[in-house]
A and B are shown apart, each in its own frame.
Chain A
Amino acid sequence: LNTSGRLNGAADGAGPTGPANIAGAILLHLDAANNLARWLIRDEHDAQDLVQEACLRAVRSADTYRGGDVRSWLLAIVRNACFDAMKRSKILRIGALGEESELPDAGTDADPAAILERADDVRLIREAIASLEPEFREVIVLREMEGLSYKDIAQVTDVPMGTVMSRLARARRQLADLLSRKQNPTPGNSEERV
């Protein structure tokens, strides 16, 4: 029996735990935080201000960090700040999403090849994502752009895994339908300013 090195596969989140390292980690996840905020809050400066506030709040409450993935912890703080801002400016239509979620999943007749043809049309993809409800938009951003697991998304958005899954499914169906259309998708459902 021998071993020439340590084995791979440390537990997730085996990152830094000290407050100094938390501060460093927050800075290194700044891009992820900014990306999420920019997709939730349309105005660039409002989004930047929210991210900055959220990062300051995070570093000041570093002692509330209970281990695990620093990124998920930070993104949850940023996400909540964005939703609070949207609620304040009444952008968020409370309850609207719940009704829609009751609809059965009708699947899609979108043509996968047509979707792939749009892969380089950044403006069109942006518009399609922007037209999603915020709850759908955030799961798309967290999964497809930030690469979070369902478990981490559930933690960030504070909903059960099953809700994460159904939101992701519906968000992708909507994007598939929007992107496979020949004409441009309809513009965003709301002007999101704070």
Chain B
Amino acid sequence: MNCDEVRDLLHACADNELDVITSRQVEEHMRQCPACQNAFLADRAVKKVLTNLALRQPAGDSTRQRLLATGLFSQPTSAARFDAEPSQPQSPRRLFNWNLLSIAASILILAGVIWFVPGILSHPNAGASDADQVLALHLRSLQMDTHLIDVQSTDQHTVKPWFDGRLDFAPPVHDLADQGFPLAGGRLDYLHGRAVAALVYHRNKHIINLFIWPGESTQSTGEIRGYNMIHWSAGGMTLWAVSDVNATDLQKFSDLFQAAPPGIEPSK
């Protein structure tokens, strides 16, 4: 990549809207090009400056009242409020919705039916996109030797600080070597257009990827195409463990990770 090509992509890199391979090429170029790196840092500085909330100009009450007075608008419902979730790009959204209780009920019945069908995680609605994408990231990390690990270390105190400045959140990192799941390192990955943390653990000859990003969600376990997956949330983070180790081992890993002493807690 030359400077011209990189310049076109820098801001998309700052927005986490690039695919993994392209963003890696851009980062590689920036390591050798101070000018492009400066342009990137300037982009980031501009983004940061524009987060000042005083810049936003929300609607006044008078506009709202005038609209309500037309009778065309109902008072905001919780159903609509769901749609108006905070506007972080691609942030995971909550699914709870009082006004759609009847739909929720049908989903519960559907879930009851699906319970008996192997591969709940590949259900086309809801978590399918997350589960499928997490598995795709796992498979890709295994196909490309150079992609598996960005920071190679068995020391959680090396891996955790490495994420500083690369992510807008601080993922929890625990070494579980004593319990048979040694930490091998970490890397950045991209899911739903945002950067997520990926921790790499070994289990005998197997590899476990643990993906972490901010957001709450409910717990689940399952299996897609022979890969076991466990999904939980803690401390404001959503965590997905995926591996070809057997389900019992992966469950053990998940239990150990959740029980690990908070040596360095996620800061937010």
Q: Which residues of A contact B (CB under 8 A)?
A: 1-12, 14-16, 20-21, 23-35, 38-39, 48, 51-52, 55-56, 59-60, 70-71, 104-105, 107-113, 115-116, 118-120, 122, 125-126, 129, 140, 143-150, 165-166, 168-169, 172-173, 175-176, 179-180
Interface contacts beyond A8-B130, A8-B217, A56-B67: sample of 15 additional A-B pairs, CB < 8 Å, sorted by A: A3-B115, A8-B218, A11-B125, A21-B99, A23-B74, A27-B68, A30-B63, A48-B59, A110-B42, A145-B56, A147-B88, A147-B89, A169-B8, A175-B49, A180-B42
Contact B11 A169 (CB under 8 A): yes
Complex Cα gap A28–B221 (Å): 36
Contact A9 B66 (CB under 8 A): no
Closest beta carbon of chain B to A44's beta carbon, Å: 9
Interface string of B44-87 (1 = CB under 8 A from A): 11111111101111111011101110101111110111111011
Closest beta carbon of chain B to A136's beta carbon, Å: 12
Contact A25 B80 (CB under 8 A): yes
Closest beta carbon of chain B to A17's beta carbon, Å: 10
Nearest neighbor of B127 in chain A, beta-carbon distance: A7
For A14, A27, A116, the residue with the greatest tally of chain B CB atoms inside 10 Å of its CB is: A27
Known: A5-B220, A8-B130, A149-B89. A48 touches B215 (CB 8 A): no
Contact A166 B8 (CB under 8 A): yes
Interface string of B215-240 (1 = CB under 8 A from A): 10111111100000001000000100
Closest beta carbon of chain A to B1's beta carbon, Å: 14
Contact B127 A9 (CB under 8 A): yes
Q: Could you give 9 example pairs across A and B, Cβ below 8 Å?
A: A16-B79, A29-B83, A34-B59, A48-B59, A118-B49, A144-B47, A146-B87, A165-B8, A165-B11
Contact A1 B43 (CB under 8 A): no
Q: Which residues of B contact A (CB under 8 A)?
A: 3-4, 7-8, 10-12, 15, 17, 35-36, 38-39, 41-52, 54-60, 62-64, 66-68, 70, 72-77, 79-84, 86-90, 92-93, 95, 99-100, 107, 111, 115, 118, 120-121, 123, 125-131, 192-193, 215, 217-223, 231, 238
Q: Is the interface of A mostly helix, strand, loop or mixed?
A: helix
Q: What are the residues of chain B within 8 A of A1 when measuring CB–CB?
A: 118, 120, 221-223
Partner of A149, one of B17, B41, B131: B17
Contact A6 B107 (CB under 8 A): yes
Complex Cα gap A149–B115 (Å): 35
Q: What are the residues of chain B within 8 A of A173 when measuring CB–CB?
A: 39, 42
Known: A8-B215, A107-B36, A107-B39. A116 touches B107 (CB 8 A): no
Q: What are the residues of chain A within 8 A of B48 when measuring CB–CB?
A: 116, 119
Q: What are the residues of chain B within 8 A of A129 when measuring CB–CB?
A: 50, 55
Contact B84 A71 (CB under 8 A): yes
Complex Cα gap A40–B123 (Å): 44
Known: A6-B107, A28-B80. A125 touches B49 (CB 8 A): yes
Contact B58 A8 (CB under 8 A): no
Nearest neighbor of B58 in chain A, beta-carbon distance: A31
For A15, A39, A113, A118, the residue with the greatest tally of chain B CB atoms inside 10 Å of its CB is: A15
Q: What are the residues of chain A within 8 A of B73 when measuring CB–CB?
A: 23-24, 26-27, 55, 59
Complex Cα gap A55–B64 (Å): 10
Closest beta carbon of chain A to B75's beta carbon, Å: 7
Nearest neighbor of A60 in chain B, beta-carbon distance: B72
Contact B88 A71 (CB under 8 A): no
Closest beta carbon of chain A to B254's beta carbon, Å: 13
Complex Cα gap A71–B85 (Å): 10
Contact A105 B7 (CB under 8 A): yes
Contact A30 B64 (CB under 8 A): yes
For B39, B218, B219, the residue with the greatest tally of chain A CB atoms inside 10 Å of its CB is: B39
Q: What are the residues of chain B within 8 A of A179 when measuring CB–CB?
A: 45-46, 49
Nearest neighbor of A105 in chain B, beta-carbon distance: B7
Q: What are the residues of chain B within 8 A of A180 when measuring CB–CB?
A: 42
Partner of B41, one of A5, A112, A122: A112
Q: What are the residues of chain B within 8 A of A23 when measuring CB–CB?
A: 72-74
